[in-house]
Each structure stands twice: as C-alpha cells, then as structure tokens.
Amino acid sequence: MAIKEEIEKRRTFGIISHPDAGKTTLTEKLLLFGGAIQTAGAVKSNKIKKHATSDFMEIERQRGISVATSVMGFEYKGVKINLLDTPGHEDFAEDTYRTLTAVDSVIMVIDCAKGVEPQTRKLLEVCRMRNTPVIVFINKLDREGKNPFDLLDEIEKELKIDLRPLTWPISMGKTFKGVYNLYEKSLILFNNGEKQTSENSIIIKDLNDGTIDDIIGEDFANTLRHDVELIEGVYADFDKEDYLEAMISPVFFGSAVNNFGVRELLDAFIQIAPTPKSRETDLREINPNDKNFSGFVFKIHANLDPKHRDRIAFLRVCSGKFERNKNYFHVRENRSLKFSNPTAFMAQEKNVVDEAYPGDIVGLYDSGLFKIGDTLTEGEKMNFKGIPQFSPELFKYVVNADPLKTKQLNKGLEQLTDEGVAQLFTKKTDNRKILGTVGALQFEVIQHRLKSEYSASCNFEHISLYKACWISSKDRKKLEDFISEKLHHMATDKEGRPVFLAESAWALQMAQEKNPDIRFHFISEFKEN
C-alpha cells in the first residue's frame, strides 16, 4: 500500500517553450512557491549578477539560455513535484525530446505578445506523438500583447489543440489589473512592482457583485463579465479526463517575472496533472504499480560539478521502489550494479536518497557504464522504448589545437557526446573524428566545455555532408560489400556500428535505390537484423 500512496503523491512534468517566452523564470517561481528556494535568481542581464537556479552550466550563464535539462524536485501541499526544465534553444531540441520521454505531462509557456512561435510548434508535435497532457501558461501579461481571444484562436489553429481557459486576464500591459480564476471563482489582483502573494486573492462567487466595480473600475468589470459570459458560451466545461487523454489543454494567464498567476497554475496542476504513467518496453507494458523496480536513463551529464569531474546518469523510475545499496541489473551490460550514493536534485544541489518511487528522477554516479536509453531492472531482460538518437544534419571535423592534450580531448569528446548533445563518428579511411549535431550552437557549447572542463582545445573544419545514417542488412555479405564499395563514405559510431555519410540528397537516394538489401536508418533505435 505504501508504494501506491507514494505514486499517487507524485507529479513529474517538463516545461517547454520557444526561447525567451519566460520558461526558466516560470521554473524559478514554481520553485519559490514550492519553498525549494528562498530567493529567485534573475535570468542573465547586464545589470543583475544572479542567475537562474536551473541554468548552472557556464555557457548558459553567459548567454542567458538553457542548453541542458535541469532536474528539480520539491514538495507542495503534500505533493512531490519533479520538474524538468528543458532547453529552450532549437539547436537542443533532441535533448528536449529525450527529456519528454521521462515526464508524464507538460506546461507550455507562450509569450502573450508573440503568440505561437516555431519552436512551440515542434515541441507540441513531440507531445502529440506521445499523447502527453499539456497545460498552457500565457506569460508576460504585464506587457502589451495580443487580444486574449485572438491568442486562444491562434493557439488552437496553429497547434491544432482544443483549449479551455481556467483563468482570464483583466486587460494587460500598463492597465493590467489581474486575472479572474474561473476554476476557483476568485479575483487575483495585480499590483505593479509588488511581488504577488496569496493575499492578493479575493473570493468572488458572483461576477454581478458590485464589489468588483469598486475594486477594478466599472469599465474593466463590465468587460470581464462580458468575456466570462463569452467563455462559458463558447468553451465546453473543463473535463479532467479529456485533459489526461491529451484531448484538451487548460489555459492560465500570468506574469512569471512578477510571480503573478503562478500559484493558481500550481494549485490547479497538483489537482489535475497525471500521476506516473505506464511505459512501453520491448517485452510488455510496465505499470508503475508493478512490484519490481525498473527505470531508464534519459540523460547523462558530465561535470555537473566541475571541481569533482563527476558524471551523472539521470534515471526515471518507472515501477517498484529504487533502493540505495541494492543490486540492480544493467540490461545492456548484462551485469549487476549497486549504487551507494544515488542523488535527488534541486538544480545544483544534490542530496543522497535512500529510496525513490515511480515518477522520481534519480542521479546515478557513472564511471562510463551508462548510455542514453539504458534500462535497469531487478533481473528482467527488457528495454524501454522510444529514446532514440536522431540522424544529425550538421557536421564538422574535429581538429586538435593542442597535441599535448590529446588524451584530454579524446576523453572530453567521449564523455560529452555520451550526453547526447552531439554524435561522434570515426571516418573509416583515415580515422578522423567527425562531430554531428542537429544545431549549430552545439559546436560552440562543446568547444567551450572542452576548454573549461577538460583543458582541451579544438577547432572545427568544414565537411560537406548531407546526412549520416545507420545501415543494416539481413545479408551480412551484402552489408560488407556495401561498406567496402562505399569505404570513402563510411564511418563508425561510438558503438562501432556502420554509418553511411551521404554528401547530398541525391547520393543518399542513389545508394538506397541501388542497394535494396541495405536498410538506411535515420534514428538509432533499430534492430540489427
């Protein structure tokens, strides 16, 4: 019974958005309300020296963007919340995709002035692929923005999702008065320049109550009454089951930088968001209530603490109970492992945990045994599905800028590419190292981290490639013949699997047409035979 109660208490979710929509700021304010931090840091600015709690990598602090997923856990009103702050920058969409495999729901942040942006569309597609329930938080109401009804229409049309507002703004920008909570029938007042607290909330059961006119002014009160009447007429009542089935998305309005609307979001979240869900493996569906422990690695981060050169594998617990100092089976390595210092996270703060339950994220100190997608069990040989690497689209040769630091460079490349921000290939003909990424910023991040974390210097040299794809065949002889024939266009990945380097779309098409027995794979998750 204890495990079932622990599962019911947990909510594991990710925050996604287009860059600069206020995602990291919202993350901080959720932590503030949850009592996990005492003072909110500020996202990078020239005047403020503090930095967002979740942005702990040096390059993130310099550029004011999140490029690695942060994991933060805290308790709020008896609920254990596991929050994953994902990279906002589009060049790190692959890391975000893998993070979304570890969450049960998502909060999507949208800038009220900019509306739906390109990265928002891409991330919503990932949620749709996995039927992940989505809550929408429309941010920056303290600034001038689009008409709320126009915004909702745009979101529904562009993202092809059905919405249901649960709070509603009273004006915005300079005349922003606050929001009306349609869920709790209360008015929350906005005082510009003041940090918002629960004391700003006024219970208003009847909108025709003349008290509203006295508080916000007759014109704003009449507009609110009209808007709420329209909402109740146009939108169906909120149905929690439809939300859990990812058929409808509740909408909240607020201003994260002012702490405004965050409490309402958090209060509704713990009531409606899903508890840990089942997960698919190559054998069967794993239910959180299953007696035996199981979990998968969705992220690896080297040098979380540069002083100690540690490497952490982030494990999502899927079933049973994880216990410290207990032997678990590493399926890919076919061996037992015991963890004496498993950790739970509050951004940079790490605490040793004795046990963890489905929905929890555990950090495992890793000496190089883990890869993204690895499964841990109590002995069952199975693998969780849906955690692939994608075929990269940008390529550069790695050039060692300091031959005296060759060992450090190789170690750095090995560990950083284990994190999944880039892929490392070795050319068959001359053993040259090639980095492949899905975004240009990753080259800069790797170069920076090699220097700061491994004291290794490298430059990049252009290579003209269209695509790198894994190849396989049921006929071993034909696979060997293809590799021999295309030797100058062949490389191996870190697992030693053959990779075809296509110089153009035409070259890839020709290779596919002339070799019908060779299969070309654009994600790493495929069966060899």
pLDDT digits (tens, 9 = 90+) for 294-335: 999 988 876 555 554 567 888 999 999 999 999 999 999 999
Predicted local distance difference test score (pLDDT) of residue 422: 83
List beta partners, residue 295: 317, 376
Query: In angstroms, rounded to a whole number, what is the distance separating the alpha carbons of residues 244 and 137?
Result: 17
Average pLDDT in the 96-125 region?
86
Is residue 521 predicted with pLDDT exceeding 60?
A: yes
Query: In angstroms, rounded to a whole number, what is the distance separating the alpha carbons of residues 218 and 518?
Result: 72
- Tokens 């050039």 belong to residue: 399
- Tokens 């999944």 belong to residue: 420
Q: Which domains does the chain have, with CATH numbers?
A: 8-174+237-272 (3.40.50.300), 279-377 (3.40.50.300), 394-521 (3.30.70.3280)
Is residue 381 predicted with pLDDT exceeding 90?
A: yes
Residue whose C-alpha is closest to residue 103's, from 378, 481, 379, 359: 359
Average pLDDT in the 91-102 region?
72
Predicted local distance difference test score (pLDDT) of residue 58: 54
Is residue 477 predicted with pLDDT exceeding 80?
A: yes
Side chain identity at residue 414, one-letter code: E
Report whether 82 contacts 345 (CB < 8 A): no
Across 468-503, b (16+ Cβ under 10 Å) vs e yields: bbbbebeeeeebeebbeebeebbbbbeeeebbbbbe
Is residue 93 predicted with pLDDT exceeding 70?
A: no
Window from 216-230, 275-289, 347-361, 427-441 with minimum mean pLDDT = 347-361
15 three-class SS = strand
pLDDT category of residue 376 using cuts at 50, 70 and 90: very high
Is residue 391 predicted with pLDDT exceeding 80?
A: no
Is residue 151 predicted with pLDDT exceeding 90?
A: yes
Side chain identity at residue 347, one-letter code: A
pLDDT category of residue 415 using cuts at 50, 70 and 90: confident
Predicted local distance difference test score (pLDDT) of residue 51: 44
Q: The whole model's pTM is what? A: 0.77
Report whether 448 contacts 456 (CB < 8 A): no
Q: Which residue has the higher pLDDT, 472 or 300?
A: 472
Query: In angstroms, rounded to a whole number, what is the distance separating the alpha carbons of residues 470 and 198?
Result: 55
Query: In angstroms, rounded to a whole number, what is the distance separating the alpha carbons of residues 287 and 405?
Result: 48
| Average pLDDT of the residues of the chain | 84
283 three-class SS = coil
Is residue 45 predicted with pLDDT exceeding 90?
A: no
Percent of the chain with pLDDT over 90: 50
Predicted local distance difference test score (pLDDT) of residue 371: 84
Is residue 138 predicted with pLDDT exceeding 90?
A: yes
Predicted local distance difference test score (pLDDT) of residue 205: 73
List beta partners, residue 115: none
Predicted local distance difference test score (pLDDT) of residue 152: 95
